[in-house]
Structure 1
């Protein structure tokens, strides 16, 4: 029997967003992890907001909305506000009821920047990571490190001579000119550097994102963003190892780009066993490392770090960053790393 075609909408609905979200929806497991970390950050939120003045957007709502922006690859805050206006799933996750007004995009952006200026994202990252550590999902012995190129939000024609007197026109006619980071800088994003990851690639204005991965479950144990230069990857690896703390010996897997004597010696001085892939000639890795079975295991596990970068670029929106400046790009990278860890932990809870 054909159903009646009734196009007159009901005026009232008696179902809440909580009732409309399926019990087995992946965001439910994610919401549990997020709420637990946000509860731990309550004292931090109390300290960064004044007791007087006009109420701002609740920080819990801000962070949940920013996570949605990463999970669903929403490019701009304007699109995010549009989704929050009619998407009941998004409203439920953020904590908005059916009749709550959605924020103006510029107001949301200003509140976001004010929140992120107080180190909130880094605290959020470590709070989520601590949940994995308490469940013994985070290794304290075996790690891998790598870096990836993050294309800056700046065009090639913005890369102009540092001396304004040497600039000619709008910078669009740069072909045939010799340009380097010593003599030129982007007028759009001065922190970006002209860089290429490997021979044969075109140079691009970019940053470098670095990740220290736990080999047990592929969680991000440490992360950072640096300016792009020839030694940034090995320098960042040493800094992230130092940030781990601890006194016991650990292993660190890495690709052939890290096979240099200074880096390998720095690791050994820090009681870190360098499980670095060997170059064909002039390798700093010798038999005292490669003879152990753990070396081959680390080389195999290291490849999983590429899936982290793949997710952060395709889903997390980091193939070309939408922010300018080293600090802002670093905050975006930290937020994407936090979102990745939340997703991994939610899947480990189900497994």
Structure 2
């Protein structure tokens, strides 16, 4: 017989426990086991008033943000709606059935205020990282570094040439992102003297987010973007640091120094090897790794290619005791062919030394067409960090280097997870600080998801569809 559902009856009392309605294999179960915000209140205490009406608990806002980033809920307005309706989200956020969900505007006010002033999001990220270290997921033997381009919240049509003079005071005055950009310019260039060269202007500047960099993805149109830079521990793929930069290769590479130094200072964690792609194989970066930090560079050495088909520099022999190169026919290439009254270092602005052959030797040489077909003499540019470059080349021939190249895929997988699962392929917040906030929260969510997947006991493993 077909059943019949009775009408809704209003009961006077209900016996309802949120914990009973959250599956044991739910992702938030695993995250909640390892997510500790006990130190957040003390960290934020100096930024709250001792009088007045109690505000929204900061732990609640952070937990809601973690839910949003873990499940790809990009809109904070929609996040509030989801937390209101979803029992698992309420359980994780410590909200009862009758507890009110904060208004979405609360997040914006706290983000631009006390959260940024106190570095609260950095504090949360580092507390999660410390838990990862305590659980043995970050060991510090090997790190990998890489960057990924994320679109900024800026219309590519709302851009002007970098050489154009812009009056930022038009309309209602500069926005928060513009004010941040102008403040950064003043801090980087407090005074301009005649002996200081101004920085090269950007190709194109966004009027809504001027700190974003105009860049082009392979095979697609150019757009304004930021780069998220990850430094990960290769043992379990835990993110040990993250840094936001404009999408410019030089700034991405330089962020590596910031991240490695910060992890060493705050966690006493320094890797024995650092893995990266060719972008991190410049002479200055390799010199920093080897000479200053004593880290083995598992990085391909960047070498400027020759387009004239001439013999490569590797065919020339370096003679250390004579400070010169020898060409395949035995002739010398030197940095100076005569003695100067005042000794010169011959080091260029690019931290290189140019070694030149003798024109008399080259003009009579039978290999001139193979060696220097378009110039009267042969030149070889040697980096002042060439010893570090040689060490990187030697490491490239070892089995450990091959293993490092395979392990480097872990950071690329994190970027794919960031864009496809967490839906962070375009930023919502503007300005470099906005990008920094979103990248920190995303990295925190990824570390929490990794702990939930790796450390949950058998029988309580999170479902594959949510991990």
Residue by residue, what CA displacement relative to the aligned partner does 1:53-95 show, whole Å, maximum 9, x if unpaired? 1211101100000011111211211111111222211111111
Structure 2 length-normalised TM: 0.67
- The match for 1:116 is 115
Write out per-residue CA displacement over residues 19-40 of structure 1, whole angstroms, 9 at most, x where no aligned residue. 2212332211211222x2x013
Q: CA deviation at 1:4?
A: 1.9
2:403 matched to 1:297?
yes
| CA 193–181 in structure 1, closer or farther in 2 if over 3 Å, else same | farther
- How has the CA–CA distance of structure 1 residues 350 and 61 changed in structure 2, closer, same or farther, with 3 Å as cutoff? same
Residues 224 and 330, structure 1, Cα contact 8 Å, conserved in 2:
yes
Structure 1 contact 147–233 (Cα < 8 Å) conserved: yes
SS of equivalent to 1:163: coil
Comparing 101-110 and 274-283, the one that deviates more: 274-283
Q: Give matches, 1:10-159, under 5 Å.
A: 10-11=10-11, 13-34=14-35, 36=36, 38-117=37-116, 118-159=118-159
Residue of structure 2 in register with 1:195 after alignment:
215
The change in CA–CA distance for 1:40 and 1:250 in structure 2 (over 3 A counts) is same
After the TM superposition, list the runs of 4 or more consecutive aligned residues in structure 1 that deviate by more than 4 angstroms: 246-249, 278-287
Counterpart in the other structure of 1:182: 202
Instruction: Select the residue among 225, 250, 254 that pairs with 2:272.
Output: 250
Unaligned runs of 5+ in 1: 166-179
Which secondary structure does the structure 2 equivalent of 1:209 belong to?
Answer: strand
Q: Extract unaligned runs of 5+ from structure 2.
A: 168-199, 306-313, 315-388, 458-467
Q: Structure 1: how far apart are the matches of 2:393 and 2:281?
A: 14
Is the CA contact 2:203–2:214 (under 8 Å) kept in the aligned structure 1?
A: no
Q: Is the partner of 1:144 in helix, strand or coil?
A: strand
Q: State the structure with more CA Rg.
A: 2
Give the drift of 1:52.
0.9
Task: Give the corresponding residue for 1:228.
Answer: 247
Q: Larger helix proportion, structure 1 or 2? A: 1
Q: 1:287 to 1:194 in 2, by over 3 A?
A: closer
**Partner in structure 1 of residue 257 of structure 2:** 238
For the residue of structure 2 that corresponds to 1:156, the secondary structure is: coil
Change (3 A) 1:89 1:115: farther
The structure-2 alpha-carbon separation of the partners of 1:217 and 1:247, relative to structure 1 and needing over 3 Å to count, comes to closer
Residue 236 of structure 2, aligned match among 210, 214, 217: 217
Cα drift, residue 112 of structure 1: 4.1
- Conserved 8 A contact 1:145-1:213: yes
Backbone CA RMSD of aligned residues: 2.3
Aligned length, in residue pairs:
334
Listed one character per residue, the Cα deviations across residues 284-326 of structure 1 (whole Å, up to 9, x for unaligned) are: 4654212332211111100111111112122333211001000
Distance 2:286 2:303 in 1: 16
Deviation at 1:281, TM superposition (A): 7.2
Could you tell me the TM-score, scaled by structure 1's length?
0.88
State whether residues 152 and 430 of structure 2, in contact with CA within 8 Å, keep that contact through their aligned partners in structure 1: yes
Residue 323 (str. 1) matches residue 322 (str. 2): no
Q: Is the 8 A contact 2:204 2:214 kept in 1?
A: no
